[in-house]
Amino acid sequence: MTELAVRTRGLSKRFGSQTVVDRIDLEVPVGSVYGFLGPNGSGKTTTIRMLLALVAATQGEIEVFGERMPHAAARVLPAIGALIEGPAFHPYLSGRRNLLRLDAADLTADSSTAVRRVDAALDRVGLLAAAGKRYRAYSLGMRQRLAIAAAMLTPKDLLVLDEPTNGLDPQGTREVRQLVGSLAGDGTTVLVSSHLLSEVEQMCTHLGVMHVGRLVAQGSSAQLRSDGDTEATVETDAPGDAARVMRELGLSEIRTGGTSVTGHLGDVAPEKVVAACVHAGVAVTGFRVGRPTLEDVFVSLTGEGFDVSG
């Protein structure tokens, strides 16, 4: 079994009569970049708060690096860096002074190395040159990177980022994405919560999909892609006739768009589709076979769209 940084069993959270997280079994492999994906309001942030012992679970079990939470929180939390629901800093202080204040409040940190560690964290996120600039003068991308630097003032085994690209322009989004990649390259496990499919798809090795409080799919990015049925698309001037032929062959979930018709092959050999169309007098101007995109897979799982544009 793959060693897990985070593992939950039957994890649930209810607020009164409302179930926000419903019996989820989360498995985040050590060394992965795990994309925790789902529409806004699907239970992602509440789950993260339970993992970090900020909110008590209604039922279920949580293990972080093999330690039961929240019982082992005092031992486990110093090895976790987190950014939840956006950064909060003193606007009149510089980036460096903000981090020094945070570091001073950490009872596990060595005060004699504070300046060196703060500058190392700023350098890691590309903010060392702007360390003396006041926080209120930082761009959104710089503010997000400063928040990540704050989560890295001491060595971390797990970094939890809740919507780290929220509200960022394309340049800021790229900066955060590259930073996550470099952290993972150094062996840090990263859990990224997001509703932006395009960003998660580019940075994550593993995915978990939430929908109305339930974990509806989980696995490596490649595995989730392969779980989708292979599709065949016929390009033709007679889409209605092609759809009829494909349906008679046994293809399912036939859909037509303009001059193209797409359906799930199932057990039907791809070459039979073209042959059957030609035999029925349907002119085929193009043909392709492929698996659904991650967007297709997620929409089929949740029954609703994601923000895929970023």
The pLDDT > 90 percentage for the chain reads 64
Beta bridge partners of 307: 196
Q: What is the pLDDT of residues 172-216, one digit of tens each?
A: 788 888 888 888 888 899 999 987 777 787 889 999 999 999 999
Mean pLDDT value across residues 37-55: 92
Say which range, 39-43, 197-201, 269-273, 285-289, has the weakest mean pLDDT.
197-201
Model confidence at 71, in pLDDT bands (50, 70, 90)? very high
Mean pLDDT of 254-266: 90
User: Which one is predicted more confidently, 304 or 79?
Assistant: 79
pLDDT band per the 50, 70, 90 thresholds, residue 228: low
Could you tell me which residues come within 8 angstroms of residue 33 by beta carbon, excluding any fewer than 6 positions away?
A: 180, 181, 184, 189, 190, 192, 203, 204, 205, 206
Q: Can you give the pLDDT at residue 1? A: 40
Mean pLDDT of 228-252: 91
Q: What is the domain class of 4-226 according to CATH?
A: alpha beta
User: What local confidence, expressed as pLDDT, does residue 305 receive?
Assistant: 55
**For the chain, which residues make up each domain, given as ranges?**
4-226, 231-290
Residue 139 has pLDDT above 60, yes or no: yes
Query: What pLDDT is stored for residue 185 in this prediction?
Result: 85
Answer with the residue of higher pLDDT: 48 or 181: 48
What is the residue-wise DSSP string for the chain? ---EEEEEEEEEEEETTEEEEEEE--EEETT-EEEEE--TTSSHHHHHHHHTTSS--SEEEEEETTEEETTTHHHHGGGEEEE-SS----TTSBHHHHHHHHHHT-TTS-GGGHHHHHHHHHHHTT-GGGTTSBGGGS-HHHHHHHHHHHTTSS--SEEEEESTTTT--HHHHHHHHHHHHHHHHTT-EEEEEESBHHHHHHH-SEEEEEETTEEEEEEEHHHHHHTSPPEEEEEES-HHHHHHHHHHHT-EEEEEETTEEEEE-TTS-HHHHHHHHHHTTPPEEEEEEEPPPHHHHHHHHHSS--B---
- What is the band of 140 on the pLDDT scale with cuts at 50, 70, 90? confident
The pLDDT value given to residue 177 = 85
Which candidate, 242, 236, 244, 164, places its Cα nearest to that of 199? 164
Residue 88's pLDDT band (boundaries 50, 70, 90)? confident
Distance CA 54, CA 275 (A): 60
Which residues 6+ apart lie within 8 Å of 168 measured at CB? 140, 141, 144, 176
pTM of the model: 0.79
**What confidence score (pLDDT) does residue 306 get?**
53
* Assigned CATH for 231-290: 3.30.70
Measured CA to CA, the distance from residue 213 to residue 47 in angstroms comes to 9
pLDDT value of position 308: 42
Strand order in the sheet with 231-236: 252-257, 260-264, 231-236, 284-290
Give me the chain's average pLDDT, please. Answer: 89
CA end-to-end distance (rounded Å), the chain: 34
The pLDDT, as a whole number, for residue 286 is: 95
pLDDT at res. 81: 93
Average pLDDT of span 31-38: 92
Region 243-271: mean pLDDT is: 91
The stretch 283-308 carries a mean pLDDT of: 74
Same fold, 4-226 and 231-290: no
